[in-house]
């Protein structure tokens, strides 16, 4: 039987691990990121993949850095036939990529060669794409540059956000891997080199990318907010403090004001002038407060027409 090492970390990876077990593959070890402190109380928290691996009774290994020779050797000693990764969160050293006789494959959440990198789902939504997908690919020692084995396209609907697309793409990736794995193991799969002229990148989201630039169009800001929902969440400045903007809605309002200015309020929204059109803020979180709807926020005398977001 083919010996597989599975490497993954977030909830995106969990259905894929579960599928491998349900389909009867021999997963000899699950490699995931170390437990990390989470929340204000810094509670040490296991990754979703670790929790699922324990539930399935699988051995778990949590190396800090696989480039460390001692930690790398522990994985090499498993002598796996195939490595399957899905959002693992570390770059694998070439020594590890070359060790399994069937290679190392990755379930990547984009239609490669578009959106190579660690934030392909976020970036596709921020860019206003109407479709993305999943690619099964061989891993090489360059970022997401290996040969493509199979792909599936997934539409991005108008109300989709990063959270909803994570679920859709995880499910699509699970089905695609299930259909593709037999050909990989039998050595009958395709290898399609990526066309370098079409390469784009989706690096990890920076703090600056989370800040709203109100001079952009209402459409661009709407895409940014849903692309950063439910994490890490877009933010703006109001009265010299940061305010998270959890959700917005497009509007046909024809009111006019200065960029970033509150032009009006309704019962459940704060209408703000952008560089092109009016955007309605419907969910927000002032600094040091809990998330709330605009309707809840507007019950207090906290904002007035003419105030500015920066």
d(CA 79, CA 93): 16
Q: Give yes or no for a contact between 83 and 98, defined as CB atoms under 8 angstroms apart.
A: no
Closest CA to 57 of 115, 18, 86: 18
Judging by DSSP bridges, how do beta strands 292-293 and 234-238 pair with one another? unpaired
pLDDT value for 157 = 97
Closest by Cα among 246, 241, 305, 237 to 273: 305
The secondary element (H helix, E strand) that includes residue 220 is: helix 218-227
Tell me, what's the pLDDT at 301?
Answer: 67
Average pLDDT of the chain, as a whole number:
95
Residue 19: count of CB within 10 angstroms of its CB: 17
| 270 Cβ neighbours under 8 A, 6+ residues apart | 262, 280, 281, 284, 294, 297, 298, 303
- Report the binding-site residues for (6S)-5,6,7,8-tetrahydrofolate: 110-113
Please check whether residue 144 is in contact with residue 120, taking contact to mean a CB–CB distance below 8 angstroms: no
Strands annotated E in the chain: 3-8, 26-31, 36-38, 43-45, 60-61, 82-86, 104-108, 131-138, 148-155, 234-238, 241-250, 262-265, 270-273, 278-286, 292-293
**pLDDT tier at 254, thresholds 50, 70, 90:** confident
Q: Give mean pLDDT, residues 17-41.
A: 94
The gap from C-alpha 173 to its chain's centroid, in whole angstroms, comes to 13
The end-to-end CA distance of the chain, in Å, is: 59
Model confidence at 256, pLDDT cuts 50, 70, 90, reads: confident
- Find out whether the peptide bond into 290 is cis, omega within 30 degrees of 0: no
pLDDT at position 91 = 87
pLDDT at 67: 85
* Residue list for the binding site: 110-113
Angstrom distance (rounded) from CA 104 to CA 93: 11
Count CB atoms within 10 A of the CB of residue 60: 17
Measured CA to CA, the distance from residue 129 to residue 109 in angstroms comes to 14
pLDDT in tens, 190-217: 999 999 999 999 999 999 999 999 999 9
**How does pLDDT run across 270-294, given as a tens digit for each residue?**
999 999 999 999 999 999 899 999 9
Share of the chain above pLDDT 90, in %: 91
Domains present along the chain, CATH in parentheses: 3-198 (3.40.50.170), 218-308 (3.10.25.10)
Report pTM. Answer: 0.94
Whether 302 shows a pLDDT value over 80: the answer reads: no
């Amino acid at each position: 039987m083919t010996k597989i090492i599975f490497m993954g970390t977030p909830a995106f990876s969990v259905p894929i691990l579960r599928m491998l077990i349900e389909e009867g593959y021999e997963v000899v070890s699950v490699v995931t990121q170390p437990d990390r402190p989470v929340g204000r109380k810094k509670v040490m928290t296991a990754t979703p993949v670790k929790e699922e691996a324990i539930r399935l009774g699988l051995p778990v290994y949590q190396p800090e850095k696989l480039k460390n020779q001692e930690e790398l050797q522990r994985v090499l000693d498993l002598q796996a036939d195939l490595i399957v990764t899905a959002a693992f969160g570390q770059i694998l050293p070439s020594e590890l990529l070359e060790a399994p006789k069937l290679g190392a494959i990755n379930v990547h959440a984009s239609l490669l060669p578009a959106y190579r990198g660690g934030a392909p789902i976020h970036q596709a939504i921020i860019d206003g794409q109407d479709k993305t997908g999943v690619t099964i690919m061989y891993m090489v020692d360059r970022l997401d540059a290996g040969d493509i084995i199979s792909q599936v396209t997934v539409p991005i609907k108008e109300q989709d956000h990063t959270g909803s697309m994570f679920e859709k793409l995880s499910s699509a990736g699970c089905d695609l891997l299930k259909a593709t794995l037999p050909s990989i193991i039998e050595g009958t799969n395709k290898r399609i080199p990526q066309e370098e002229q079409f390469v784009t990148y989706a690096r990890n989201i920076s703090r600056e990318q989370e800040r709203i630039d109100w001079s952009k169009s209402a459409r661009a800001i709407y895409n940014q907010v849903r692309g950063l929902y439910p994490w890490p969440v877009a933010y703006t400045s109001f009265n010299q403090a940061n305010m998270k903007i959890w959700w917005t809605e497009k509007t046909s309002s024809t009111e006019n004001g200065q960029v970033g200015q509150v032009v009006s309020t309704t019962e459940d929204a704060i209408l703000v002038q952008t560089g092109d059109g009016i955007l309605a803020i419907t969910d927000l979180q002032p600094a040091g407060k809990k998330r709330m709807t605009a309707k809840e926020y507007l019950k207090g005398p906290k904002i007035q027409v003419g105030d500015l977001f920066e």
